[in-house]
Structure 1
């Protein structure tokens, strides 16, 4: 496996995250660290309590006599025991391999086989019986103490052992974790990060955000994803901020209010859900009127933030995919200034940020963080070099070699531009660009962002390979579905006309196709991080896409 050659001088100053755990255990043993809701009750873990449990996990793994650096899997939604198990895996000298809780049979079995995992921790799952049935018999299964995690070895049984008494610290160049990408196309790739690469991103992020022990954050975006892992879990090791978890989707608002987060990170799909939830209670026209009133407007905005549980937040962020500028502007009127950021699994989610918020830079992904070197290649690709870049793809030398340039920059696959202030803007994905039957190339992302400015549209995918003109596939929001087809059609026709007026002739959309069923992880049309699986959608609806239509708005079942 080739190593990305970057300057390690600054890397060497980073303290090991495991050393930080021992520091919290020693210096602040009784300080609250994590809060986990179980059956409506909030169970609290101090640093001492959490790390003692992790020491027991490490002892049990040592007793299993696995070779150093064995790959230990975790299949669970976010919870306190996910963090504890991950700590224990590191203390035992092994490598954690998280698997998305929503992963299907093929992904689960592929990851376990590819990483050669001898053991898997199983925890909170939406469909535990199905997920557990996918686990091969040759992989030892240990349950987290949550309802539904019925596997041969219970948490109580596994941790019924004296905790390790020593303070092992892995070498910074040891592999910390193999993070399998969510797989929007093909089999997921195992992104290999060392303690050094992940720790550099995590330890530097707390300075950007000004995070301290006084901060509270919700951990609900998948810990199997790089953003939550590096910028929430690991940055917590360095900052001492408190982590709060969600019991279920039904209790989300309750749990956010209990946390009262000072930092709140989400993804575009969920920000849109929040927006639709607000508009289901008050019309846009009435909201606009109230917000324009000098004193009343501030009170209304504050009340809405309190209802969301976000009134104490000083930073709001969005990542994973572009958030429509119109949506950012909409939330800004409520005093929720959403800063977009950009990163990828391969660079530990640490690339750019729009902090501090600037209204004039809405639509950009921000400036490169200190220590991150970015450039635009001749073909428009954003390329990045930083100490947080992965060391490679697990067991795949060919892909590893291909993703780095000769001078050590990571090829991101994102096309972009940079302005005179150093703010980057993504204009599309190289692999998403398609060619119409007229031989003209179309970049779908900017067109999709324009369509999403219609608040009735919740999901969209622009496609058009070998078609005379591009078309838009979309799903309406729940509130829009309550309106008549006539009302929605009029709204979509206005959007189609408005969007097409901004496009060159070869980019103009011929029609919009409306789907009644939402695209989700369950029907394999979204990745676990809620990104549209563009190529899967194109394959699934190939007949509908190719069919001739005279109507500008096409309704499907």
Structure 2
């Protein structure tokens, strides 16, 4: 088995005591940092920077493929670590040749592709600051990010992205097709200035900014989170401290947008950990790509697992006779095994034999939907309904849910392969502290907490406390074993006209476990009772061949039976289409933008409260 390089654990320093009183450190925490500003160094250990992460990765003599890139539909090309290293060096030298260096913000407007990741590493080597833009964003939103970050240029995937950016008059506009030319320039520059890139990388400090990640703006423009080099280095390092989360031989299918902190972390983790990443630019083709790539790791937003859950439930409920009895038996066996595994107990011999038989006859069919060799699913970016995780585990597929936010550089808690509880987001990450305040809001403290919001000191002060704690904006609980359960976003908690507090997210997750319901938005703030807007899974409704209103009412009744009276959905409206990113109604991780949806469907909502 391939041996990973031994890297210094950044959290060794966390437990050594408080940092020295360094005025520069406070300035980074509270104010917009000067990207070229050097904060005083607190130890002589190697700098925790992305250039160091990349250099360690490509010098580790790994024999497996670094990446898999789709050259045409259904055909994938292996990219070795040596090839990736040469490409990044040539791109980085090319950037230096064009005068792009430390402190320069540079946009990337591109889907999840190999070029995105390699260009990002190249920017990091020269000290640039990546300012990613979601490729499905509007021209207005793209312009905001690039102008607000003061980007000197942008890498664009195609002509549609060029149309958004061209009016801005950026000094450097590169298309993917221009990268070969940039590499040629880099090769020539490297021959003429053989030490330039090493010097540029050496000048990058761990307190310098690595990237701006813009959070989704639901009530105003997005805020630019300033993420330092040490933030992401520490984040990847602490993931590696979780036993069995990744293995050297793993293959990860990555379709998540790299403009989002979850996808970005996966990209960096692949380099740090040494496993292979297969890029999938089109999230709508994931179902088709899974059997081709056959990943062992699948980081995903819950929507993919929800869709797969619907398909599995539909097949189970549509079976009859012997197949139905076989499916029910396998599910009962799987649930018994799941309970024992969650408790960390061994399987009795007879149950183990039944489980192996059920795997051969039933579970393997479900696993084939994910390529046949999926070892772990990782869910984040939005809440995963407990019932979905439980069902897949009963079919011998483990999905680990985690939780975090951009402001703490992605994750703060995650379930472990050998220590997990469905319905929770797991214990705090290694090196993290998580607690609740008097109002139940979850607070986070770690080396990964960001430097603040770009050009927004007031917003920074609202989330960063003087003692280093970060306000998450999420309400939750922490049990005696350290497992964190998220109740809802603090700002989304509904207070009914009767003064009752309820968490809409929990009800919405329960509604989505019905095979007929695609999405649900719960309403009830300052209202006499709770209502919901429902979108349908049209394919499942068509199979049922029944009255839509009756099907949805049955699903709502099933959910209501598990709720307190004041939480129950009294009325609902079926809306004619799904809430979508194109309409600005969901975030890139498919979380609902409540205020946008409520404004758009205001008439339907008011009818639900009409006498």
TM-based fold match above 0.5: yes
Structure 1 vs Structure 2 CA RMSD: 2.7
Which residue is 1:149 aligned to? none
Separation in 1 of the partners of 2:94 and 2:565?
65
- Given the superposition, is the C-alpha separation of residues 237 and 376 from structure 1 closer, same or farther in structure 2, using an over 3 Å criterion? same
Which residue is 1:22 aligned to? 55
Q: CA deviation at 1:333?
A: 2.0
Q: Give matches, 1:144-543, under 5 Å.
A: 144-145=176-177, 154-163=178-187, 164=190, 165-166=194-195, 167=198, 168-169=201-202, 170-210=204-244, 211-230=246-265, 232-246=266-280, 248-249=282-283, 251-279=285-313, 283=317, 285-286=319-320, 289-291=325-327, 292-293=329-330, 294=354, 297-356=358-417, 361-483=421-543, 486-543=546-603
> SS of 1:84's equivalent?
helix
**Contact 1:53 1:84 (C-alpha < 8 Å) held by counterparts:** yes
Separation in 1 of the partners of 2:165 and 2:570?
43
- Given the superposition, is the C-alpha separation of residues 11 and 528 from structure 1 closer, same or farther in structure 2, using an over 3 Å criterion? farther
- Given the superposition, is the C-alpha separation of residues 484 and 130 from structure 1 closer, same or farther in structure 2, using an over 3 Å criterion? farther
- Given the superposition, is the C-alpha separation of residues 89 and 58 from structure 1 closer, same or farther in structure 2, using an over 3 Å criterion? same
Q: CA deviation at 1:53?
A: 1.6
Separation in 1 of the partners of 2:429 and 2:423?
18
**Structure 2, gaps ≥5 residues long:** 1-25, 31-40, 331-353
**Contact 1:58 1:89 (C-alpha < 8 Å) held by counterparts:** yes
- Given the superposition, is the C-alpha separation of residues 14 and 273 from structure 1 closer, same or farther in structure 2, using an over 3 Å criterion? farther
Which residue is 1:38 aligned to? 71
Q: CA deviation at 1:369?
A: 1.5
- Given the superposition, is the C-alpha separation of residues 399 and 330 from structure 1 closer, same or farther in structure 2, using an over 3 Å criterion? same
Q: CA deviation at 1:486?
A: 4.3
* Residue 132 of structure 1 pairs with residue 163 of structure 2: yes
- Given the superposition, is the C-alpha separation of residues 380 and 247 from structure 1 closer, same or farther in structure 2, using an over 3 Å criterion? closer
Pairs aligned (count): 536
Aligned equivalent of 2:88, options 42, 50, 54:
54
- Given the superposition, is the C-alpha separation of residues 305 and 245 from structure 1 closer, same or farther in structure 2, using an over 3 Å criterion? farther
- Given the superposition, is the C-alpha separation of residues 247 and 351 from structure 1 closer, same or farther in structure 2, using an over 3 Å criterion? closer
Which residue is 2:4 aligned to? none
**Structure 1 residues 198-231: Cα deviation after superposition (integer angstroms, max 9, x where no partner):** 110111102215334322111111111111212x
Q: CA deviation at 1:31?
A: 4.7
Separation in 2 of the partners of 1:96 and 1:347?
18
Which residue is 1:69 aligned to? 103
> SS of 1:317's equivalent?
strand
Higher helix share: 2
Q: CA deviation at 1:475?
A: 1.0
Which residue is 1:150 aligned to? none
Mean CA deviation greater in 499-508 or 512-521: 499-508
* Residue 89 of structure 1 pairs with residue 89 of structure 2: no
Mean CA deviation greater in 193-202 or 443-452: 443-452
Separation in 2 of the partners of 1:282 and 1:498?
18
Separation in 1 of the partners of 2:385 and 2:59?
46
Mean CA deviation greater in 71-80 or 267-276: 267-276
> SS of 1:547's equivalent?
helix
**Structure 1, gaps ≥5 residues long:** 146-153, 552-557
> SS of 2:443's equivalent?
strand
Separation in 2 of the partners of 1:336 and 1:9?
44
